[in-house]
Structure 1
Amino acid sequence: MEDIPGIKWRLQSDHETLIPLLIVAVLIGVLTGFLAVGFRYLLLVASRLCWYDPLDIIGGATQLPWIAVILIPLSGGLLVGPIVSKLAPETRGAGVPEVIHAVASKQGIIRHRTTFYKILSTVVSIGSGASVGREGPIVHIGASVGSSVAQLVRLSSEWRSVFLACGAAAGIAATFNAPMAGMLFAVEIILVDFEISYLSHIAISAVAATVVSHQFLGNLPAFDIPPYTLVSYWEILLYGLLGIIAGFVSIAFIKSISIVEDTLNRFRIPSGLQPAVGGLIVGLLAVKVPHVLGVGYQSVNLILTGKMALDIIAVVLVCKLAATSFSIGGGFSGGIFAPSLVLGALLGGIFGVAVNHLFPEWSAAYPAYGLVGMGAIVSGVTMAPITAIFTIFELTYNFEIILPLITSCITSLIVVKKFYGNSIYETKLLKKGIKIVRGHDVNLLRSIHVTEYMDRAYERIGVGTGLLDLIAKARESTYPHFVVLNDGDELVGMLSMRDLKYCLSDMADLSTIVVAADIMTQNVHCLVPADTLETAFEAFEGKHISTLPVVDPVNRKKVLGILKKSNLILAYNEKVLKTHIFRNQRR
């Protein structure tokens, strides 16, 4: 860590850096908390200007002439258009994909001006009635604060990413009064690949932001939470079915946003006018169904308090999905987290009414299903089930809801993984040609071949090498990963300490009878010289391996060398650094 000009911190070791870095984390949490509070008040002002009562947009819309209901979102789109197309394109949409990209390939750097433009564009978007959430923008704003503070005090790229995540966690925590959910959001969605020691910094930022939010907005939950009771353990099966349905609705939601974006581009509508088109559609829907306007928390509260009829719930679900798709797909600045909660509540409400009718003896009232449905849709859309579970749990603090939540959230996630494969954030990045794996932009490795980083000298053993000799070789080796060859020097497997450890407890009995062929890994994934490091990265992902053999493309039994996972990470970091330097030179 570099010395900070103007601040007399002499940081020489991890022990000495702990307190100063925690102070920075608290500062980021406090700043994000104040920005979140100010952002909420600005949203209230903007909503009051457009709809009279910011706490009852539905009622305000019904009192306005139909032409005003159409023109207000349309005008909001016209105002937002120039911001998201020219002034700050990174403020378009939710903002979370941009934060993920900043961590993966921009060394945690977000432009300082992003905070201002994100607040401005989102206030106009939500204030004018666009069907978007405020959580995504708050994450983007908090991440921008964290990145800016880290840049200001000249921290390394690693700590820039950590403090960017601190700001993101603080944003979620301040919005929902849910510090645990904020912390898990940052870990599960933003960082993905992180050291456990960073968790304390992320947690303390979330706590600091929550304290600030409590001081100004009170210690009240974001929704009117109903009492929850698990009526019967048979009800778990119903929650599993709810999760399956939620998974398919999540896929429809993700795809509908992509379809809107593709359609607007296919008709070559200028990016500066696309939000206006989205606003026009929202306005037309709101004339008959005003529930589609804004964040949608009014509809959630109507579901959770049992005050919405089944026919209305069904209509609002379809129209809200369409309005959100046109709002986000059209380019309004706003998140998908809140719309996901709204869609989940509506879906759960419909499902709850149905099971109440079919199984009245062992099913809870429909608000309970609305509450669990919120978590299920968030889990499916973001593919972050732990965040979804803790978000709803922190709203209720009722342990009885844990089992239904886990069941619905995990089944929803499985459906999305099986039938679609990507979260809404990953989908957004993939449309830009950015592929993130474990928090890394693997596209950066597409131009590098494995031969540039593979080791041509590698340790090998014979297929008949005995257990005692294997242990001796492993003890002497600096990198105990061995290529196993037969008598013809052909590849037959790989052997590492992971394979050896299963024999160590029975050494006395196995030392004379076990050979390499008995314990080696036989089904080995191999690379060829023409493969890129992107292919290698994907091969390593999800597997407990540290080494891959590189073989001759003609004779795949002939080993040319090995590629270590550590060398792959080194190549990635070098590429990120080089890209960052060239980008700064162009500026």
Structure 2
Amino acid sequence: MGSHGLRQASVPDAEVAAALVDRRVVVLSAVSVCLALVATATAQLLTGLIGLVTNLAFYGRLSTAFVSPAGHGLGARVLLIPSAGALLVGLMARFGSPAIRGHGIPEAMERVLFAQSRIPPRMTVLKPLSAAISIGTGGPFGAEGPIIATGGALGSLVGQVLTVTADERKTLLAAGAVAGMAATFGTPVSAVLLAIELLLFEYRPRSVIPVALASATASAARLALVGGAPVFTMPDLAQPSGAALASYIVLGAIVGVAAVLVTRALYRLEDGFERLPVHWMWWPALGGLAVGAAGYVAPRTLGVGYDNIDDILAGTLVGRAALVFCAFKLFSWIVALASGTSGGTLAPLFTLGGGLGSVLGGLAVAVAPSLGIDVRIAALVGMAAMFAGASRALLASVVFAFEATRQPIGLLPLLGGCTAAFLVSSLLMKNSIMTEKIARRGARVPSEYRPDFLDQVLVADCATRELVTLRFDQTIDSVRAWLGAGGPGTRHTGFPVLDAAGTLIGVVTRTDLFDAARAGDQLVTAAIKRAPVVISEQSTVRGAADRMLVEGVGRLVVVKPEDPTRVVGIITRSDLLGAHRRRLDEASRTDALLSLRKMPSVSRMPGIQRLWSKKPPEPPAPSTRP
């Protein structure tokens, strides 16, 4: 049968290839658990480092206690401290790594999407150090953003040291990131949801299991280190009435508009800094002046400000005081972040949203007390809705607010308010606060996670069943003559070759046949150049497409899963494209029906009856056997 060393290729086990989990997932989970412990320790270290810088800068003492800068007694000297810290960050970015600038999460997203989840190892040191300096000297950011970025950098570093695939490295990056968030807030479920919505861009057991275990491990470690109290304390809430629930949804929509305005203001300020006639290294120092000015007038705007969120949710920071505070916090935060310093978005967005929700709730109580609005629930909804509208992480926002306060009564208002904010934001803004920077660089960020259509269709459903085959004892000249005659089946480009028992021994193409040396008695088996590439009829079309790509072929012979030598069909690249025909047809029919509903009289137009009765497309006509 020729001297090309023909061997029967094994059937690609599509079920194993697409298995939910395998032993590598177990190994990856074990690595993620260890990574979570390291990330938790790193989070505690960063928190202590922020406390050290804060105590040195504002109180002149050596202590790692996590304190607020608001109680300083520096007077006008406070104007210079944030600028000095930001200048150090600018120098670190200029001579260390420009990647330390910005929110943290968008940079991690960019590495996931366009750099195979590879983050430079030096980021594991530079990011937390720059964040500690920035926040410790009064920067109006939360510690969670830099901790998430640092955890992601640790996961990426582990993924670069170990022999893993790009997908597995992405999982490790996400595991490190969620461990950082869970170690900061003790919110394991929302951390996993945040990873799914902003980092993984998928929902697969192979990635979710290691990430979830990392989040649970970090939360357990936090529990052992700092206790299990919720990060934000709220008094027990009363069940809201139907009118109050409707009001919280409206409040969420208003906060969604505010989230859009905040995002646009942030990026317009970034554009303004881009036009400054000075090197970007100096921009953080300029932004630090704004932070110092705001801190001089409103000291509570300095630093992390978790205590501010606590006061807003507890109902002790309300009314005009909350409004003035939020105005200065917004000014301080967006100017500092737009200047390119090292900071985050989560805590500032929670603070602004909570303050706005509290103010709107207070107004509603004053105007319509019969609605039964609770200002504390309004603040909780506003806090989560601001983040949902700005980041588009809907589920993470809802669950975070619940986990951070442990108030189950707030779940229903949170779901309604965050969904309203998400809807308004999606209508008014193309990109989120996390993706706008990436989109401006000409890249597209996935915003919808849908199952792969090809992964839902079996090869058996779209393969050609009527084969045009060649016998092993046919000569090349006879086959050439048959092809030249142009009869039925001669227009195909590939032909399975069977032996006397009907068993597959190879595949030849038209090119193989016409490139073969001319010899009257040479058999077609001499034109076979490689072992046949086959696929089970129970495999998915996605598996078929992947196998074509890996093997570098344009067709696969379809076989029975229990007998890889029994040929039942063939699938080509054209068949793969044809598999989409049903989806496109259904989408077209749905669009047409929606259009018709807008025009009631259109059903009397010519040809419409044919549209209504249109049947699904017939499968391609079978090939004719020679």
Q: Which secondary structure state, in structure 2, belongs to the residue aligned with residue 227 of structure 1?
A: coil
Quickly say closer, same or farther: Cα 1:361–1:199, change in 2 above 3 A. same
Within-5 A mapping of 1:95-494: 95-437=104-446, 478=571, 494=581
C-alpha separation in 1, matches of 2:138 and 2:266: 18
Query: Larger deviation: 168-177 or 80-89?
Result: 80-89
Deviation (angstroms), 1:498: 8.8
C-alpha separation in 2, matches of 1:404 and 1:210: 26
Instruction: Determine the structure 2 residue equivalent to 1:551.
Output: none
Do 2:134 and 2:343's aligned partners in 1 also have CA atoms closer than 8 Å?
Answer: yes
C-alpha separation in 2, matches of 1:268 and 1:211: 50
Instruction: Determine the structure 2 residue equivalent to 1:21.
Output: 28
Please tell me the residue identity of whatever aligns with 2:582.
L
Quickly say closer, same or farther: Cα 1:457–1:431, change in 2 above 3 A. farther
Query: Larger deviation: 243-252 or 194-203?
Result: 194-203
Residues 216-265 of structure 1 show CA distances to partners (whole Å, capped at 9, x for unaligned) of 22222222223222331111111111111111111121112112211112
Do 1:103 and 1:439's aligned partners in 2 also have CA atoms closer than 8 Å?
Answer: no
Instruction: Determine the structure 2 residue equivalent to 1:50.
Output: 57
Quickly say closer, same or farther: Cα 1:414–1:439, change in 2 above 3 A. closer
Quickly say closer, same or farther: Cα 1:72–1:155, change in 2 above 3 A. same
Q: 1:495 aligned to 2:582?
A: yes
Q: Which secondary structure state, in structure 1, belongs to the residue aligned with residue 140 of structure 2?
A: coil
C-alpha separation in 2, matches of 1:481 and 1:19: 33
Q: TM-score normalized by structure 1? A: 0.73
> Which of 84, 97, 102 is the aligned partner of 1:93?
102
Deviation (angstroms), 1:195: 2.1
Quickly say closer, same or farther: Cα 1:423–1:19, change in 2 above 3 A. same
Quickly say closer, same or farther: Cα 1:226–1:199, change in 2 above 3 A. same
Query: Larger deviation: 312-321 or 224-233?
Result: 224-233
Quickly say closer, same or farther: Cα 1:309–1:405, change in 2 above 3 A. closer
C-alpha separation in 2, matches of 1:368 and 1:51: 34
Deviation (angstroms), 1:69: 1.1
Q: TM-score normalized by structure 2? A: 0.69
C-alpha separation in 2, matches of 1:163 and 1:383: 23
Residues 121-151 of structure 1 show CA distances to partners (whole Å, capped at 9, x for unaligned) of 0000000011122111111111111111121
C-alpha separation in 2, matches of 1:515 and 1:351: 51
Residues 8-50 of structure 1 show CA distances to partners (whole Å, capped at 9, x for unaligned) of xxxxx96433432221111111111110111111111111112
Quickly say closer, same or farther: Cα 1:150–1:482, change in 2 above 3 A. closer
Quickly say closer, same or farther: Cα 1:438–1:412, change in 2 above 3 A. closer
Deviation (angstroms), 1:427: 0.8
Q: How many residues align?
A: 457
Q: Which secondary structure state, in structure 2, belongs to the residue aligned with residue 277 of structure 1?
A: helix
> Which of 71, 81, 103 is the aligned partner of 1:60?
71
Quickly say closer, same or farther: Cα 1:83–1:360, change in 2 above 3 A. same
C-alpha separation in 2, matches of 1:422 and 1:195: 25
Do 2:69 and 2:138's aligned partners in 1 also have CA atoms closer than 8 Å?
Answer: no
Within-5 A mapping of 1:533-552: none
Do 1:134 and 1:335's aligned partners in 2 also have CA atoms closer than 8 Å?
Answer: yes
C-alpha separation in 1, matches of 2:353 and 2:492: 55
Instruction: Determine the structure 1 residue equivalent to 2:468.
Output: none
Query: Larger deviation: 94-103 or 293-302?
Result: 293-302
Quickly say closer, same or farther: Cα 1:478–1:499, change in 2 above 3 A. farther
C-alpha separation in 2, matches of 1:304 and 1:494: 53
Residues 419-475 of structure 1 show CA distances to partners (whole Å, capped at 9, x for unaligned) of 1121111112123333322599xxxxxxxxxxxxxxx999xxxxxxxxxxxxxxxx9
Q: Which blocks of at least 5 consecutive residues in structure 2 are unaligned? A: 1-18, 450-490, 494-567, 590-609, 619-626
Quickly say closer, same or farther: Cα 1:478–1:328, change in 2 above 3 A. same
Quickly say closer, same or farther: Cα 1:226–1:156, change in 2 above 3 A. same
Residues 244-288 of structure 1 show CA distances to partners (whole Å, capped at 9, x for unaligned) of 111111112111211221111212231111010110011111111
C-alpha separation in 2, matches of 1:521 and 1:56: 68
C-alpha separation in 2, matches of 1:110 and 1:298: 33
Within-5 A mapping of 1:512-551: 518-520=614-616
Q: Which secondary structure state, in structure 2, belongs to the residue aligned with residue 437 of structure 1?
A: coil
Deviation (angstroms), 1:499: 5.8
Deviation (angstroms), 1:104: 0.8
Do 1:495 and 1:516's aligned partners in 2 also have CA atoms closer than 8 Å?
Answer: no
Deviation (angstroms), 1:515: 12
CA RMSD of aligned residues (A): 2.9
Instruction: Determine the structure 2 residue equivalent to 1:39.
Output: 46
Deviation (angstroms), 1:319: 1.3
C-alpha separation in 2, matches of 1:87 and 1:187: 31
Q: Which secondary structure state, in structure 1, belongs to the residue aligned with residue 80 of structure 2?
A: helix
> Which of 30, 37, 43 is the aligned partner of 2:37?
30
Query: Larger deviation: 336-345 or 233-242?
Result: 233-242
Do 1:349 and 1:366's aligned partners in 2 also have CA atoms closer than 8 Å?
Answer: yes
Q: Which secondary structure state, in structure 1, belongs to the residue aligned with residue 281 of structure 2?
A: coil
Deviation (angstroms), 1:161: 0.7
C-alpha separation in 2, matches of 1:360 and 1:249: 24
C-alpha separation in 2, matches of 1:157 and 1:364: 49
Deviation (angstroms), 1:516: 12
Quickly say closer, same or farther: Cα 1:82–1:72, change in 2 above 3 A. same
Do 1:74 and 1:279's aligned partners in 2 also have CA atoms closer than 8 Å?
Answer: yes
C-alpha separation in 1, matches of 2:577 and 2:297: 69
Deviation (angstroms), 1:519: 2.6
Quickly say closer, same or farther: Cα 1:195–1:354, change in 2 above 3 A. same
Deviation (angstroms), 1:483: 6.1
C-alpha separation in 1, matches of 2:392 and 2:308: 24
Instruction: Determine the structure 1 residue equivalent to 2:16.
Output: none
C-alpha separation in 1, matches of 2:58 and 2:281: 25
Q: 1:76 aligned to 2:85?
A: yes
Q: Which secondary structure state, in structure 1, belongs to the residue aligned with residue 192 of structure 2?
A: helix
> Percent of counterpart pairs with the same letter?
28
Do 1:37 and 1:216's aligned partners in 2 also have CA atoms closer than 8 Å?
Answer: no
Do 1:251 and 1:420's aligned partners in 2 also have CA atoms closer than 8 Å?
Answer: yes
Deviation (angstroms), 1:163: 0.8
C-alpha separation in 2, matches of 1:58 and 1:16: 49
Quickly say closer, same or farther: Cα 1:168–1:55, change in 2 above 3 A. closer
Deviation (angstroms), 1:415: 1.0
Please tell me the residue identity of whatever aligns with 2:74.
L
Please tell me the residue identity of whatever aligns with 1:33.
T
C-alpha separation in 2, matches of 1:497 and 1:269: 52
Do 1:76 and 1:128's aligned partners in 2 also have CA atoms closer than 8 Å?
Answer: yes
Do 1:352 and 1:365's aligned partners in 2 also have CA atoms closer than 8 Å?
Answer: yes
Query: Larger deviation: 80-89 or 324-333?
Result: 80-89
Between structure 1 and structure 2, the one with the greater Rg is: 2
C-alpha separation in 2, matches of 1:373 and 1:243: 6
Deviation (angstroms), 1:55: 5.5
Deviation (angstroms), 1:334: 1.1
